[in-house]
Amino acid sequence: MQIGELARAARCSVATIRYYEQVGLLPAPERTAGNFRRYQATHLARLQAIRGCRALDLSRDEIRTLLAQLDGAARDCSAIDRVIDDHLTHVCEQIQALEHLRAQLEELRARCRGAGSVETCGVMAGLLDLDVEVRARVHT
């Protein structure tokens, strides 16, 4: 199948397919005499696996690890379990950070309910007093 057919089958864009090829997640397909890409069913299966990983917000490195396990002859899935366990830990950390953010926003919002001027706004005063922490690098 050609790239457009693969994109339709996988429900993604041609640019996405090219990107995954460029970063090495999707192997380069064979080329026709006219230099068109010719994809096989294995490309579709791999692309669907990649898209499933992305739906779970797995990073490229995590996806590479999972695909390497899929490509290898390993019968032990402990490396896969580690990737998922580590990602789950990361998701829990994100949830905690978002809960902290929600609490800060609720506290700020409680300072002002739209009455008064900008100069006396409790939200603006709260922003000036807010203890800002350095944010960790985003996972993906």
Query: What's the Cα-to-Cα distance from 66 to each of 1, 52, 105, 135, rounded to whole Å?
Result: 25, 11, 37, 28
Q: Domain 3-55, CATH 1.20.120.50 — does that match?
A: no
Is the model's pLDDT at 140 over the cut of 70? no
Q: What is the pLDDT of residues 4-18, one digit of tens each?
A: 999 999 999 999 999
pTM here is: 0.74
> Residue 78 is which amino acid?
S
Residue 107: alpha-carbon gap to chain centroid: 30
Q: Are 31 and 38 in contact (CB under 8 A)?
A: yes
Task: Enumerate the domain spans of the chain.
Answer: 3-55
How far apart are alpha carbons 132 and 35 in whole angstroms?
A: 54
Q: What is the pLDDT of residues 24-51, one digit of tens each?
A: 999 999 998 999 889 999 999 999 999 9
